Amino acid sequence: MESRESEIKNLVSGFTASIMNLISHYRQKRDALNQVPQFIDAVERDRARMAQKFDALRSDPSCPADVIDAVEAQINHIADSEIARAKSNGVDFDTLTSAPARHAQGRRPH
């Protein structure tokens, strides 16, 4: 069970890396007319991909539901934070917002 729990928790790191790649990709398109909507669509596609993964995990009795719910909440928080920041400032930033960045570095948010 511990390995399944670790596997599920590692999904946050994978999602964080994916979002960091999206930031890098869309930051290079600063002058593109639809940069922000395209970035948001890409984040939402990643979030939908993860939601499908969570649905599949929930059907597996060896996966602890409380861990799945907590990881899904973290992923939704990361997606919501980056979408809000892009809407506010465009995709003109180099890193994730502070809470997801701390998680990516292995530190817990305060």
Give the chain's length.
Answer: 110
pTM recorded for the entire structure: 0.80
∠ CA 49-56-76 to the nearest 5 degrees? 45
8 within 8 A of 68, measured Cβ to Cβ? yes
Read off the pLDDT of residues 4-37 as tens digits, 9 standing for 90 and up.
899 999 999 999 999 999 988 888 876 667 889 9
91 within 8 A of 40, measured Cβ to Cβ? no
d(CA 60, CA 63): 6
Which amino acid type is present at position 55?
D
pLDDT at 93: 64
pLDDT band at 99 (very low <50, low <70, confident <90, very high): very low
